[in-house]
Amino acid sequence: MTTTIAPSEAVAAAPRPHPSIWADTAILAGRHLRLMSRRPASIIGAVVLPLIFATMFYVVFGTVVERRIGSGYGQYLLPAVILQAMLFTAMSAAILSVEDVTGGMIRRLRSMAVSPVAPVLGLVGAELTRALLTIAVLLPAGAVMGFRLGGGVLASIGFGLIALFFAAVVCTGFIAIGFAAGKVDSVQVITNVIFFPFLLVSNAFTPTEAFPDWLQPFVANQPLSRTADALRALADAEAALARPVTIALLWLSGGFVVCVAVAARAYRRSL
């Protein structure tokens, strides 16, 4: 006796592919890296602009800040320039996420068995590769300005990892903005509104004591300042590491969890 299976039942019985977060992330990261390699502006943004900003801040503010902090400005400046470069990387990630929305890539991914987190992590992974290139370029330039990684091998590795962790957090948050806004003009306005206050109202380029008394609590305790504190402590041979590194990791870990959740939700709601 032969049993006939209806086409609808056959489709229902067929095994459905299960999305693999890590495989999907690796494939999408490779795609974004290929796209970046074809854009000269992407390389310029990763290499040339950070060097220009480092040189400008060192020349313009070096003498003034050295009098206040009592030490070389190069040691104080480089962590700030690295964090600024990571924010520029995040702004690039936001633009790329908008291009994926407007170009139809997100529509295609949503029609496939792709993890909703993979498009976010794939773009973050590609941007972290560019961020690593930026750090590799800035460290020798910082050495010319007097910056030294004096905390030893482990502290130096921690310096790089925290800088990349910061990049991952801000990239994820800005990608969420890109998915939610869906327009390049809107994303540029929103990210600039976030970028400049948090960068300028921080201890990145000037010490906390240089700000008005009523503003100093915010300056000292906002995430960018706490990350800069951790980077400076890791670069200092004599600094205590436990407190600044722990505070920075708590800020970054909490921010990453929130940003990934928000970005995944924005991806599902895009279009």
Model pLDDT, residue 17: 55
SS3 212: coil
Beta strands in 25-98 (DSSP E): none
Model pLDDT for residues 40-93, shown as the tens digit of each residue: 777 787 888 889 988 888 888 777 777 766 667 888 899 999 999 999 999 989
The whole model's pTM is what? Answer: 0.87
Token duo for residue 163: 């800088």
Model pLDDT, residue 248: 96
Name the stretches of the chain with pLDDT < 70. 1-19, 68-71, 271
210-249 exposure pattern, b = at least 16 Cβ within 10 A, e = fewer: ebeeeeeeebbebbbbbbbbbbbbbbbeebeeeebbebbb
**Angle, nearest 10°, between helix axes 21-37 and 118-144?**
50
Q: What share of the chain is helix, strand, coil (3-state, %, to 5)?
A: 80, 0, 20
Model pLDDT, residue 1: 46
| C-alpha radius of gyration, the chain, whole number | 22
Token duo for residue 151: 């905390």
Q: Which amino acid is at 38?
A: R
Model pLDDT, residue 82: 95
Residue 61 to residue 159: CA distance in whole angstroms: 24
Model pLDDT, residue 232: 94
Of the candidates 261, 82, 52, which has an alpha carbon nearest to the alpha carbon of residue 175? 261
Of the candidates 54, 46, 55, 53, which has an alpha carbon nearest to the alpha carbon of residue 133? 46
Residue 46 to residue 136: CA distance in whole angstroms: 10
Give me the sign of the Cα torsion angle 160, 161, 162, 164.
positive
Model pLDDT, residue 271: 58
Model pLDDT, residue 10: 46
Give the position of tokens 């007097």.
Answer: 146
Model pLDDT, residue 14: 45
Residue 236 to residue 170: CA distance in whole angstroms: 25
Of the candidates 132, 162, 83, 123, which has an alpha carbon nearest to the alpha carbon of residue 263? 123
Model pLDDT, residue 219: 94
Q: What are phi and psi of 90, to 5 degrees?
A: -65, -40
145-171 exposure pattern, b = at least 16 Cβ within 10 A, e = fewer: bbbebebeeebeebbbebbbbbbbbbb
